[in-house]
Amino acid sequence: MTTKLASPGAPVTFSPETTHDLEMTVRDLKLWYGEKQALHGIDLDIYQNNITALIGPSGCGKSTFLRCLNRMNDLIPSARAEGEVMMEGKNVLSKQVDEVALRKKVGMVFQKPNPFPKSIYENVAYAPRMHDIVSKGKEQDELVERSLRAAGLWDEVKDQLGQPGTSLSGGQQQRLCIARAIAVQPSVILMDEPTSALDPISTATIEELMHELKRDFTIVVVTHNMQQAARVADYTAFFHLGEVIEYNDTAMMFSTPDQKKTEDYITGRYG
């Protein structure tokens, strides 16, 4: 059952056919960079153990939106956000929520693979040790192995854990970054165009990995690649000029879009 909307640009939510628990609910999220408003009142529900894709043309605010979910925008001095991003009954945008705690709960994978210039082992072990999730020694070794396995990288790197993470190939580096993100045991993983810097084979590997990961994590992925959204996402939101034009079940979105703009975009008329 999808909610049909009369006018484009109106707040968009929908109820999925199968019931999922809500991981995060975003209500009337507005964001300014200095004087310029980048997000104009976003409403979006993020469902647990699902992959939500955010698509849209460049500069439409999808990455900005993604970065609101773990408050990475706080690092930009001119950015100012208003509205609600509810998680576990708290508005994570409010000062009561520590952004460091939030980022432990909501991990992130970036567009360009950015492993720390340390060993593969250290890349994974650093954050859990910092958060006191594990102590040094056997416990830490196990977590590193578990995380690398979950990221599908263990078999490739198990004999070279001491090598620098930056010596791996681009696709491997990105999976190392995924391993690093899941090692702190977050609930949500945000992925900001995780495959845009990778070749098609590495991209396919990461997409398969995302299917595996959604059993344990909620994934929100920004992508420029509509085929990718169609392949991996359960739900897709179409952003345009800082607004959500349409948010729907992915299959529905790509077969029978409600909005003219969505249809134009996914059929390649612009963007």
Partner 1 sequence: MAQSLDDISRQLKKRHRKSARMKWLSMAALILAGTFLLVFLGDMLVKGLPAFQQGYIEVEVDYSERAAELPLAAVEADYRDLVSRGYLRLIPGRMADDESLLGTTQTEWVLADDAVDQYLKGRKARLKDKQIEVLDRLAEEGRAELRFNTGFFTNGDSKLPEMAGLASAAMGSVLVLIVTLAFAFPVGVMTAVYLEEFAPDNRFTRFLEVNINNLAAIPSILFGLLGLAIFINFFGAPRSSALAGGLTLGMMTLPIIIITSRAALRAVPDSIRQAAFGVGATRWQTVRDHVLPLSMPGIFTGSIIGLAQALGETAPLIIIGMIAYIPDAPTSFTQAATVLPAQIFTWAGMPESSYVERTAAGILVLLTVLISLNVTAVYLRKKFEHRW
- Interface residues with partner 1 (CB under 8 A) are 70, 72, 75, 77, 100-101, 103-104, 107-108, 110, 112, 114-117, 126-127, 130-131, 177, 180-181, 184
- Of the pair 107, 257, the CB lying nearest partner 1 is at 107
Half-sphere exposure of 236 (CA within 13 A, CB side): 26
Q: How far apart are CA 105 and CA 189, in angstroms?
A: 9
Q: Which residues pair with 235 in a beta bridge?
A: 52, 249
- Of the pair 179, 210, the CB lying nearest partner 1 is at 179
Min separation Cβ 224 and partner 1, Å: 19
- Of the pair 147, 262, the CB lying nearest partner 1 is at 147
- Of the pair 107, 152, the CB lying nearest partner 1 is at 107
Min separation Cβ 75 and partner 1, Å: 6
- Of the pair 75, 201, the CB lying nearest partner 1 is at 75
Min separation Cβ 184 and partner 1, Å: 6
Query: Residue length, the chain?
Result: 271
> Residues near 89 by Cβ (< 8 Å), separated by ≥ 6?
none
- Of the pair 62, 104, the CB lying nearest partner 1 is at 104
Among residues 189, 197, 194, the alpha carbon closest in space to that of 220 is found at 189
Min separation Cβ 225 and partner 1, Å: 21
Do residues 211 and 200 make contact, with C-beta atoms less than 8 angstroms apart? no
SS3 64: helix
Neighbours of 231 (CB within 10 A): 18
Min separation Cβ 36 and partner 1, Å: 18
Min separation Cβ 270 and partner 1, Å: 30
Tokens of 63: 């990455």
Tokens of 241: 């000029």
Min separation Cβ 246 and partner 1, Å: 29
- Of the pair 6, 75, the CB lying nearest partner 1 is at 75
Distances (CA, A) of 36 to 23, 48, 62: 29, 32, 16
Torsion over CA: 69, 71, 77, 80 (sign): positive
Q: Cα Rg for the chain, rounded, in angstroms?
A: 19
